[in-house]
Amino acid sequence: MNAKQLKILLTLAFIISLMSCKAQQIYPLITSLDNVPNMSHLKDTNDELQSFVGTYMSTYNGNNIILYITKENDKLFDYGNQKIYIDVLSVKYIVRNPSGTILQDTKNIISSPDDLKHTIYSTWITDNGNKAELIYNGTNCNVGFGSINLKKINSTQISWEYRPNDIVTTAAKCPPTLDTKIYLPETKDLIFTKQ
C-alpha cells in the first residue's frame, strides 16, 4: 500500500468514525428521564444545585449531624435499559453522639457503581431550585433505604426530611455481624445550618 492509498484509507476511516458517533445530547436538570435518549446528559444549566452546596450542622436526639453536600457533575446512572449522566448533589455525613464519639462517618467513603451503600444522591430539583429530592441507598444490607427531601429556608438554612422505606432486616437476608442501625435522623422539618 502506497502513501496515497494509506491517506485515502485513513480519511475514509475518520469519516466513518465521525458518522458513527452520536453527539451527546444535553438537557436541563429538570427533564424527565422518559424524555431523553440513552447516554444523554441532564445538566445543571440553571445552577439550581449550587445553593445547596456546603457543610451543614444540626442536632437530633442529642446526636450531632454534619452534612457535607457537594455537586457532582456527570454522574453516570444505569437504569438497566438506559444510562444517563446527571449533575447531582452528593451528600456525605458524620454522626456523633453527645460525648463526641463518631457513630457513623461516610465523609471519606468512595462509592463504586457496584456498592452504593451509604450514598445519598439527588434525583430531582423542584420549586425553582428551592427543594431537592434525594435517595439514600441505606446502610449495610440496604437498611434505611429511602428518600430525603431538602428545602432551602434561606441562604444559610435547609430543612431536612428523611423517610426510610426499609428499617429492619433478618439474619437470612443480612449477616447479624453487620451494623444495620440507621444513624441519620428519621424526622421531618429538622433545620440544618450552613457552617
User: First-to-last CA distance in the chain?
Assistant: 68
Residue with the bigger pLDDT between 35 and 101: it is: 101
CA distance 153 to 193: 10
Q: Which of 80-89, 98-107, 154-163, 171-180 is predicted with the least confidence, judged by mean pLDDT?
A: 171-180
User: Could you tell me the pLDDT band of residue 21, with boundaries at 50, 70 and 90?
Assistant: very low
| Residue 27 reports pLDDT greater than 80 | yes
Indicate if the pLDDT at residue 17 is higher than 50: no
The pLDDT score that the predictor gives to residue 9 is 55
Burial of 148 (0-12, 13-18, 19+ CB in 10 A): buried
Strands (DSSP E) contained in the chain are 26-28, 41-43, 54-60, 63-78, 83-96, 102-105, 120-126, 131-136, 146-154, 157-164, 190-194
Read off the pTM: 0.83
Cα–Cα nearest to 122, from 25, 26, 52, 65: 52
Q: What is the mean pLDDT of the chain?
A: 87
CB atoms inside a 10 Å sphere around CB 166:
14
32's grid cell: 424527565
In the prediction, which pLDDT does 4 show?
67
